[in-house]
């Protein structure tokens, strides 16, 4: 991967709303080259989506996130992939990761209440063939997520002009 592509990916990871004109100045290349590179990365599905990071504790809505440790027996000829695919197809599931260590899959789900999450685990996840055990951990508070510190004071990076 070219240095320009990596630089663009770094900028978009930090702030996906960075304008092409600003990236052009930051990287010293034309806006056309930036736009064409982004379009190519999107077409190759290197850039898949531009999500917003929401501080849900500040929104007056019920929102529960849980991390579920899942142990499974790998399927013959398909390993962990077939079970992971079955799990990630549920709407409640936001992420599924194959893990090393004490469990096989890390499943992150979102729901409106802890009870809703518990029902998902009991009625949809645990009964899946090849799932041997689950352990659910509810996120009680986020301090830092995707590099962003929640509740940290705003820092004016322009410096003091006094």
- pLDDT the model gives residue 86: 94
Q: Which two tokens stand for residue 156?
A: 């004016």
Compute how many other C-beta atoms are within 10 angstroms of the C-beta atom of residue 95. 11
Task: Give the C-alpha distances (Å, rounded to integers) separating 114 from 17, 96, 105, 108.
Answer: 33, 19, 20, 13
pLDDT in tens, the chain (162 residues): 689 999 999 899 888 999 999 999 999 999 999 999 999 999 999 998 888 877 777 777 778 999 999 999 987 888 899 999 999 999 999 999 999 999 999 999 998 899 999 999 999 999 999 999 999 999 988 888 877 788 766 666 666 555
Contacts of 58 (CB under 8 A, 6+ apart): none
Task: Please name the residue that has the structure tokens 């003091």.
Answer: 160
The C-alpha atoms of residue 45 and residue 128 are separated, in whole angstroms, by: 30
- pLDDT the model gives residue 160: 58
Q: What is the pTM of this model?
A: 0.71
- pLDDT the model gives residue 162: 53
The C-alpha atoms of residue 134 and residue 121 are separated, in whole angstroms, by: 8
Contacts of 36 (CB under 8 A, 6+ apart): none
Count of positions (residues) in the chain: 162
């Amino acid at each position: 991967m070219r240095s320009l592509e990596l630089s663009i990916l770094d900028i978009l990871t930090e702030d996906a709303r960075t304008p092409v004109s600003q990236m052009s100045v930051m990287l010293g290349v034309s806006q056309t080259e930036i736009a064409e590179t982004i379009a190519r990365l999107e077409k190759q599905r290197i850039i898949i989506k531009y999500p917003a990071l929401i501080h849900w504790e500040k929104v007056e809505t019920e929102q529960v996130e849980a991390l579920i440790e899942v142990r499974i027996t790998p399927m013959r000829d398909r390993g962990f992939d077939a079970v992971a695919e079955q799990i990630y197809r549920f709407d409640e599931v936001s992420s599924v990761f194959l893990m090393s260590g004490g469990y096989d899959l890390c499943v992150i789900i979102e729901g409106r209440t802890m009870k809703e999450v518990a029902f998902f685990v009991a009625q949809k996840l645990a009964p899946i063939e090849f799932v041997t055990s689950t352990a659910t951990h509810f996120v009680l508070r986020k301090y830092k997520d995707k590099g962003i510190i929640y509740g940290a004071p705003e820092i004016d990076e322009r410096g003091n002009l006094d």
